[in-house]
Structure 1
Amino acid sequence: MEVSQKLNVEAKEFFNALASSVAYDISQATGKKVNPDQIYSGYRYKKKMKNKMGQENHVDVVIKQFVSPSCYEASFRTSHGTNVIFYEVEDSKDGNIMVHYREGFEGESTSYSLNYKIVSWFYQKGSKKRVSRMLSSMESFIKGQRTKEN
């Protein structure tokens, strides 16, 4: 699934908000205080997550790319397969940014991969709306932070 959306914020502001969110996730998962400047490409940690059925899974997280302010990629590996999320941020000519978000899954077996493709086809519209709302929320959060700082 892919979503591209224009946001009225600067690339550095967006990436800083994303990095803060990742640092918070790492801190929650590991119990260790992690700052955004401590994150790097290749960073690994383990966390517990509930799946859509409410079952708890152990997840191995690898931050594959962490290049400020242009891209973030992470993989989330479970016993069923690997989810990958990717953000690419590019400056727009009008002073805004374009955020390109991609999400995919590669199953541990052909049946897991096929099941994901079938299920994601049905939920694709809702998933795109969810990502679009999340990006809009990040934009609003960043603008709110600007107001607090001024």
Structure 2
Amino acid sequence: MDIVKKMQVPVPFLFDQITNSVLYDIQQATGKKLTEKQLDGFEYVKEFSKNQRANIRIEKYHKDQAYHYSTATNRNQFFVQYDIVPISDTVCELHYIEKMESTGSIQKMNDMIVGMLLSHFKKKRFKEMLKQMEQSYQTAAYE
């Protein structure tokens, strides 16, 4: 899934939203309270249920520029990239890329079918989340 979205928010605002979410997720999964400086290269295990867990590695963290991570399970490996390009002091462009590699031919076929069926809804939900971020910035700017 590739999304390019021009956003009516400054780069630092958008990147702080992403960073705060990452730091919260790490603290929930590990109990560790990290700083931004500790994120690049950080790895942790996240449990989704009793029998499902994932190894998450932050591949790249460059403040106000890029956040890339990978998630590995016994069935798939996900690669996600957030790259942010400033356009002006109050506008930026987000480049979001998500790729998945599956293990085994049955899993690959299953993921391909599910991906085709759900990709539209996933993109729509992601774009809605970005819109909410823009609205929260607009609201905060007027308060």
TM above 0.5: yes
Structural RMSD (CA)? 2.1
**With structure 1 as the length reference, what TM-score do the two structures score?**
0.84
Equivalent runs, 1:120-139 vs 2, <5 Å: 120-139=115-134
Tell me the residue number matched to 1:62.
57
Q: Give the letter aligned to residue 65 of structure 2.
A: S
* Separation (CA, whole Å) in 2 of partners of 1:136 and 1:112: 33
Q: Give the letter aligned to residue 4 of structure 2.
A: S
Tell me the residue number matched to 2:28.
28
Q: Give the letter aligned to residue 2 of structure 2.
A: E
Q: Give the letter aligned to residue 18 of structure 1.
A: I
Kept in 2: contact 1:3–1:131 (CA 8 A): no
Q: Give the letter aligned to residue 30 of structure 1.
A: T
Q: Give the letter aligned to residue 29 of structure 1.
A: A
Extract unaligned runs of 5+ from structure 1: none
Give 1:13 deviation, angstroms: 1.6
Q: Give the letter aligned to residue 44 of structure 2.
A: Y
Q: Give the letter aligned to residue 12 of structure 2.
A: K
Give 1:111 deviation, angstroms: 2.6
* SS of 2:17 mapped into structure 1: helix
Write out per-residue CA displacement over residues 63-117 of structure 1, whole angstroms, 9 at most, x where no aligned residue. 0111111111111111101112111111125841111111121012233223212
Tell me the residue number matched to 2:45.
46
Q: Give the letter aligned to residue 45 of structure 1.
A: Y
Extract unaligned runs of 5+ from structure 2: none
Kept in 1: contact 2:10–2:89 (CA 8 A): no
Paired positions, count: 143
Q: Give the letter aligned to residue 136 of structure 2.
A: F
* SS of 1:9 mapped into structure 2: coil
Kept in 1: contact 2:11–2:85 (CA 8 A): yes
* Separation (CA, whole Å) in 1 of partners of 2:91 and 2:120: 25
Tell me the residue number matched to 2:109.
114
What is the aligned counterpart of 2:79 among 76, 81, 84? Answer: 84
Larger deviation: 59-68 or 31-40?
Answer: 31-40
* Separation (CA, whole Å) in 2 of partners of 1:85 and 1:64: 9
Percent identical: 27
* Separation (CA, whole Å) in 2 of partners of 1:46 and 1:58: 7
* Separation (CA, whole Å) in 1 of partners of 2:89 and 2:141: 19
